[in-house]
């Protein structure tokens, strides 16, 4: 026997997956025993529904009703055998908690970590960064690989919605060949980051892969080739790139997971995740749908900064693309201020709030105070650089707009907001009179998000400046198709466009046939 848990007249044999009442085995099924094991192991502490489902149905998409049925069966057996009712407490919208007699743990001397029951998953996304393999054939390079992992762990730990396992736990696996699913069970994490390092002469190759430990499926993978003139700068650069890339990958994986849950079982965190793709679309119809979910999240948790930040972004979209209504502008600023008030440790909430305050409140000083705070918390926040570049672009600061947009795209090349970075580049190049470059950036933005009307504004203006009037008029027609109420004078006033940029853009858009 590896480990057993004793409580009241009961004992769980975790190896056999059996609940004993005294010396007699109960008829409780293995799934119900798995659920009870997680609950008694964390006696007195809340256990989320996700953690329980993961324990009883690993790597499966099941509805919450399955969990409800198993918990009911479990309670029935415990009550029937003892006559006592106080065993498992329901925590509305959160999960369950064991509240029965004191639990004691017993194990024999031959028990190993692999025989222990899996740790319950935290209530938020969780990740372990494993020691990177040194493939250079030179043990002296271990310091570089280890330092890089330290840096990645430190940077990931700054993301407040992510549960990150400490270095001391993951480095216990150094030099051991171990299955990712095994690591996930032992450390109680959903995701595992693995990597390798190889140095040949002045060249360094680093690979990384993010794996869902519950399924073994890859979430993200990348290879980086660099010169190693400054090994510490390379280490920092790689850590920044990895964290910038995997943060949105984790978000996407979490969104896909939450989509499998029943709508009536969603808590505030789940509601925000489910709303996120519609928020990121920048489309009025979709952000209107997102607001329904976000308002539910805020009703459940009025101090949820990210819910407020996303709501601000939704109202910003409605303000600019659905009639420039003052009520939407005011709502954007209101939610942005709430996000800042409640989100001092949340880089994404601060970023969204700063963008809304800058774009809709026309307060660039306050906007960049929020963005700088976000980057101080999470220097790898691609979204901070991307949305900051848009503010800089409309504000006429062309050089910084290009610098920030390039940083954002480098950190997260496939970010759902990448189109906005290309928009900022198109504005900046147009402002500097580089119309060919502006066209290229606008076309890249169109490719990234073909339904975003503002991108066609930059494209139409750039084409007009190049004398390609037929193409400019086609782009202008697309603007009106996507945004029938578009008037460039009102639009420029709405975003507080720099006067010189507004004058040049307006002249070109008039030539392309767009109304003032």
Place of tokens 């329901």: 90
- For the chain, the straight-line distance linking the first and the last C-alpha, in angstroms and rounded, comes to 79
| pLDDT higher than 60, residue 111 | no
- Largest alpha-carbon pair distance within the chain? 89
Fold of domain 126-246: Rossmann fold (3.40.50)
- The 8-class DSSP code of residue 166 comes to -
Q: 120 and 184 in contact (C-beta within 8 Å)?
A: no
CATH superfamily membership of 261-379: Tetratricopeptide repeat domain (1.25.40.10)
What is residue 355's predicted lDDT score, i.e. its pLDDT? Answer: 96
Interior angle at CA 180, CA 231 and CA 381, nearest 5: 50
pTM given for the model: 0.63
| pLDDT higher than 70, residue 279 | yes
Given pLDDT bands bounded at 50, 70 and 90, which one contains residue 422?
very high
Cα separation, 386 vs 306, whole angstroms: 18
What is residue 332's predicted lDDT score, i.e. its pLDDT? Answer: 95
How confident is the model over 124-136, as pLDDT tens digits?
788 888 888 888 7
What is residue 291's predicted lDDT score, i.e. its pLDDT? Answer: 95
The proportion of the chain whose per-residue pLDDT surpasses 90, expressed as a percent, equals 33
| pLDDT higher than 90, residue 389 | yes
> Please, what is the average pLDDT of the chain?
84
3-state class (DSSP) for residue 208: strand
Cα–Cα distances in Å, from 463 out to 265, 426, 430, 452, 468? 50, 12, 10, 18, 5
Angle of helix 398-411 relative to helix 418-431, nearest 10 degrees? Answer: 160
CA Rg value for the chain: 27
Cα separation, 330 vs 319, whole angstroms: 9
Of 3.20.20.70, 1.25.40.10, 3.40.50.10320, 1.20.1260.10, the CATH number of 395-516 is 1.25.40.10
Cα separation, 302 vs 321, whole angstroms: 27
Q: Which two tokens stand for residue 85?
A: 């009712």
What is residue 109's predicted lDDT score, i.e. its pLDDT? Answer: 38
| pLDDT higher than 50, residue 83 | yes
What is residue 507's predicted lDDT score, i.e. its pLDDT? Answer: 94
Cα separation, 123 vs 46, whole angstroms: 10
**Per mean pLDDT, which range of 224-238, 250-264, 390-404 is the poorest?**
250-264
Identify any residues that bridge with 128 across adjacent strands, giving them in sequence order: 192
Cα separation, 71 vs 457, whole angstroms: 57
| pLDDT higher than 70, residue 286 | yes
| H or E segment to which residue 5 belongs | strand 3-7
What is residue 485's predicted lDDT score, i.e. its pLDDT? Answer: 87
Asked, colleague to colleague, whether 126-246 and 395-516 share their fold, the answer is no
How confident is the model over 33-80, as pLDDT tens digits?
888 988 888 888 788 887 788 778 775 666 777 788 888 888 888 888
**Per mean pLDDT, which range of 23-37, 100-114, 377-391 is the poorest?**
100-114
What is residue 108's predicted lDDT score, i.e. its pLDDT? Answer: 45
What is residue 440's predicted lDDT score, i.e. its pLDDT? Answer: 92
Given pLDDT bands bounded at 50, 70 and 90, which one contains residue 216?
confident
Does 3-113 carry CATH code 1.10.10.10?
A: yes
What is residue 115's predicted lDDT score, i.e. its pLDDT? Answer: 43
Given pLDDT bands bounded at 50, 70 and 90, which one contains residue 294?
very high
Identify which has the larger pLDDT, 71 or 169: 71
Identify any residues that bridge with 223 across adjacent strands, giving them in sequence order: 207
CA 368 to chain centroid:
22
Core vs surface per residue 43-55: b (16+ CB within 10 A) or e: beebbbbbbbbbb
What is residue 309's predicted lDDT score, i.e. its pLDDT? Answer: 95
Domain range list for the chain = 3-113, 126-246, 261-379, 395-516
């Amino acid at each position: 026997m590896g480990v057993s848990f004793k409580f009241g007249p009961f004992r769980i044999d975790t190896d056999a997956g059996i609940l004993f009442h005294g010396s007699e085995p109960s008829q409780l099924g293995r799934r119900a025993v798995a659920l009870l094991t997680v609950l008694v192991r964390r006696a007195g502490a809340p256990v989320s529904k996700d953690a329980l489902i993961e324990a009883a149905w690993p790597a499966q998409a099941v509805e919450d009703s399955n969990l409800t049925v198993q918990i009911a069966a479990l309670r029935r057996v415990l009550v029937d055998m003892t006559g006592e009712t106080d065993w498992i407490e329901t925590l509305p919208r959160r999960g369950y908690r064991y509240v029965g007699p004191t639990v004691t743990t017993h194990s024999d001397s031959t028990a190993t970590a692999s025989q222990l029951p899996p740790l319950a998953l935290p209530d938020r996304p969780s990740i372990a960064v494993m020691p990177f393999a040194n493939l250079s054939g030179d043990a002296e390079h271990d310091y570089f690989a280890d330092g890089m992992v330290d840096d990645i762990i430190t940077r990931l730990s700054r993301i407040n919605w992510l549960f990150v396992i400490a270095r001391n736990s993951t480095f216990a696996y150094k030099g051991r060949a171990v299955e990712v699913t095994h690591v996930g069970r032992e450390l109680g994490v959903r995701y595992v980051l693995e990597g390798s390092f190889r140095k040949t002469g002045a060249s360094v190759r680093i690979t990384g892969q993010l794996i869902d430990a519950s399924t073994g499926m890859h979430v993200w993978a990348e290879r980086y080739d660099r010169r190693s003139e400054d090994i510490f700068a390379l280490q920092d650069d790689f850590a920044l790139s990895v964290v910038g890339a995997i943060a949105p990958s984790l978000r996407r994986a979490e969104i896909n997971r939450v989509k499998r849950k029943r709508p009536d079982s969603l808590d505030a965190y789940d509601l925000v995740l489910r709303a996120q793709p519609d928020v990121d679309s920048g489309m009025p119809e979709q952000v209107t749908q997102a607001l329904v979910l976000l308002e539910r999240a805020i009703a459940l948790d009025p101090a949820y900064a990210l819910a407020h930040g996303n709501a601000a972004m939704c109202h910003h979209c409605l303000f600019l693309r659905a009639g420039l209504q003052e009520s939407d502008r005011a709502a954007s600023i209101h939610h942005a201020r709430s996000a800042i008030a409640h989100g001092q440790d949340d880089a994404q909430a601060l970023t969204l709030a700063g963008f809304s305050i800058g774009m809709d409140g026309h307060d660039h000083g306050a906007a960049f105070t929020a963005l700088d705070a976000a980057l101080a918390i999470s220097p790898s926040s691609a979204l901070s650089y991307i949305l900051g570049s848009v503010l800089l672009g409309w504000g006429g600061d062309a050089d910084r707009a290009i610098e920030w947009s390039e940083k954002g795209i480098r950190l997260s090349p496939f970010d759902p907001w990448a189109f906005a970075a290309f928009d900022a580049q198109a504005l900046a190049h147009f402002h500097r009179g580089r119309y060919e470059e502006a066209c290229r950036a606008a076309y890249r933005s169109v490719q990234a998000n073909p339904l975003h009307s503002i991108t066609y504004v930059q494209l139409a203006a750039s084409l007009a400046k190049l004398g390609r009037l037929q193409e400019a008029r086609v782009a202008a027609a697309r603007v009106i198709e996507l945004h029938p109420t578009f008037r460039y004078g009102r639009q420029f006033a709405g975003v507080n466009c720099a006067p010189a940029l507004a004058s040049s853009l307006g002249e070109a858009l008039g030539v392309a046939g767009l109304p003032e």
